[in-house]
A and B are shown apart, each in its own frame.
Chain A
């Protein structure tokens, strides 16, 4: 009885997700576009979730892989290279216009290799140190993207690369609307289905990973690295694998982003984006697939919707509160308020808390008896309360 009910719910959900763009399309393509972007963010968050959620490695430079994928597709799918280099033009007179079936695996491999390369020097680091180093990596990549227009023009600098091909495969062009008699499926809707397929693939891979030996090993590393090592897990290889796999998802989403936008510039890959993706993972419920998806959809789509209420607000506040500021304000408040109310995320993994709770340690969120030491012991997290890494003893500030 219960199973058939669940099945019905699933079918309903699938139908709703499939029908969504057709419904949105009638309200205008801008809405479908928002859904597309949300799907891209879902893919990115799921990729980062492998690194942060499963392996417990806090990566604040994740957007670098997104950028690599995007620039890879931009260079392969536009005439930028043949415009810049005569020898390239001699080899490919029409420019490289690579098919999707080559781009996706290539973006996956290149970003994955880069992920492993960036992960390798940071293996010794954990927690906050790792966060700040990955953040530095992200910034370095952005600075290079911004400046690699001299002396050899590779990325076209801050101007970015324009006129990138839309996605074409098997003779289909997603950049053009399809027409059946009176009914039109717009280009953004076609992208929606492509992204949806990729998101579904990502979810399946993530889920299979989570319940596999590799996933178990990652979670063991997340909970206690030293114990995991003692149990015979090759922590070095496992961490590199997590970096690589997470990065490869970022690369694929980047390539899709470039094709979808038709334009890339370093502006899209700022630190803010990395931070946003981390926020999506953490706000939704770190390590828990439905939670991560919820976080990504919420943070990606809702602020866009807010744009439509921004007009009157802007008029009221003398032009100071425009759409982009309102969006930023909303995101910031969401990050703070959600964390204060639900420090484990909106939809945390149900078993997560169980494995983390120790006998005798206060349950997370449980009220502490007044006057007990706990209220006066800030900074010392009981080991039970920690997620990635363990800073068991605060450091000395003795000069």
Chain B
């Protein structure tokens, strides 16, 4: 029972990070129908930037409390990631809006490789130990253990989600985003500038990705140039799982995927009698994806889009 509870907690933490990344994917896909393959790399850049900032601050201001350092690093990482994603959209995606559909996909993949390469040149291709800035005393809940970092991840994610929902539902920008996603041409006739809205979407997505990146790095205590790719892929899976283009779907999909992955890798050994071990954990996301798309291509909360996707 304790194992189950523990895995549920781990799954929620993992899932909330997937949800943050998935939101960026789903917003971009909802508006311009592009799988932004470079999204995971934005996460990586966010994490590595924060690692650099933390290192600098530890050197210059050794007395600063850990949580403050983390917040400052987080804010700077968000700014860097937002600028980066804004530039990526301008340079690599915007000129190709009216091109064959595969062209932006290829530039997105190219951008992903380019960012990884640049990160290797800037930060060197080694694993970096990501410092734990919060207290390490674990909190015990009914036999299971939560670390303060995990508590922070859950609360930051919840906060970000609330802010995003408010942004999309109750602000002018949010209304413009929804209108553009519905029909850019009509939105343009109504006085909305789709280019601005798309830029804003990329910036918001990048901020969420950078937050997820910092969380990811502090959870695993490690940061490196290739760290963004797999979470990015799984987050896209989560977005599809929940119904792509649907914000609530991305959150639900992300959390469910995290739970499936954590519980699956916790129990796969005992279920299969030791034939398959937890080293197969990476395949759960893809199996879920394939099953989901075969049974219900529109995702859990999505509208029917199979023919159009």
A contact set with B: CB distance below 8 Å: 52, 58, 121-122, 124-129, 131-133, 135-137, 139-140, 143-144, 146-147, 150-151, 271-272, 275, 278-279, 282-283, 286, 317, 320-321, 325, 328-329, 331-336, 339-340, 343-344, 362, 364, 368, 373-374, 376-382, 385-399
Contacts and interface: CB of A to CB of B under 8 A. Distances in A.
Contact of A329 (B114, B237, B309): B114
17 contacts: A129-B240, A140-B283, A151-B275, A279-B110, A282-B102, A325-B117, A325-B120, A328-B113, A387-B101, A388-B102, A391-B101, A394-B31, A394-B184, A395-B29, A395-B33, A397-B31, A397-B181
B106 interface: yes
A129 B98 contact: no
Interface string B190-223: 0001110010000000000000000000000000
B305 A395 contact: yes
Contacts of A386: 100-101
Contacts of A334: 110
A322 B277 CA distance: 37
A377 B184 contact: yes
Given A336-B114, A378-B194, A387 B100 contact: yes
A317 B121 CA distance: 9
A399 B104 CA distance: 26
B283 A374 contact: no
Contacts of A396: 30, 178, 181-182, 245-246, 303
A217 to B, nearest CB: 19
A58 B102 CA distance: 9
Nearest to B124: A320
A335 B107 contact: yes
B19 interface: no
A126 B309 contact: yes
B110 A135 contact: no
Contacts of B275: 151
Interface stretch (B89-97, B137-145, B152-160): B89-97
A283 B106 contact: yes
B184 A332 contact: no
Interface in B108-132: 109-111, 113-114, 116-118, 120-121, 124-125
Interface residues of B, number: 85
B78 interface: no
Contact of A140 (B27, B180, B236, B287): B287
Contacts of A329: 114, 117-118, 121
A150 B170 CA distance: 54
A38 to B, nearest CB: 20
A380 B29 contact: no
B107 A394 contact: no
A161 to B, nearest CB: 19
A73 B297 CA distance: 37
Contact of B103 (A135, A275, A343): A343
Contacts of B113: 272, 275, 328, 331-332, 335
Contacts of A325: 117, 120-121, 125
Contacts of A122: 290, 293-294
B165 interface: yes
Given A135-B233, A325-B120, A379-B31, A335 B100 contact: no
Which of A140, A388, A399 is packed against the most chain B CB atoms within 10 Å?
A399
B59 interface: no
B285 to A, nearest CB: 7
Contacts of B67: none
Contact of A340 (B96, B124, B194, B240): B96
Given A377-B188, A379-B194, A399 B286 contact: no
B255 interface: no
B248 interface: yes
Nearest to A388: B101
Given A394-B30, A395-B245, A339 B280 contact: no
Given A279-B106, A378-B184, A385-B99, A399 B293 contact: no
B114 A394 contact: no
A340 to B, nearest CB: 6
B166 to A, nearest CB: 11
B101 A150 contact: no
Nearest to B281: A143
B173 interface: no
A282 to B, nearest CB: 5
6 closest residue pairs by CB, A with B? A335-B110, A395-B245, A136-B286, A397-B30, A343-B99, A332-B114
A343 B95 CA distance: 10
A331 B106 CA distance: 11
Contacts of A131: 35, 105
Nearest to A334: B110
A139 B282 contact: yes
A390 B114 contact: no
Contact of B30 (A125, A390, A395): A395
Contacts of B246: 395-399
Given A136-B285, A279-B110, A121 B290 contact: yes
B185 interface: yes
A125 B274 CA distance: 35
B68 interface: no
Contacts of A146: 279
B237 A132 contact: yes
B67 to A, nearest CB: 31
Given A378-B94, A399-B168, 16 more contacts: A127-B309, A132-B237, A136-B290, A139-B233, A140-B286, A150-B277, A283-B106, A286-B102, A320-B120, A320-B121, A343-B99, A377-B188, A385-B98, A394-B182, A394-B245, A397-B246
Contacts of A52: 102
B102 A143 contact: no
Contacts of A374: 98
Given A136-B290, A328-B116, A335-B107, A379 B97 contact: yes
A364 B244 CA distance: 28
Given A379-B180, A399-B168, A364 B98 contact: yes
Contact of A344 (B100, B116, B286): B100
B194 A391 contact: no
B97 A336 contact: no
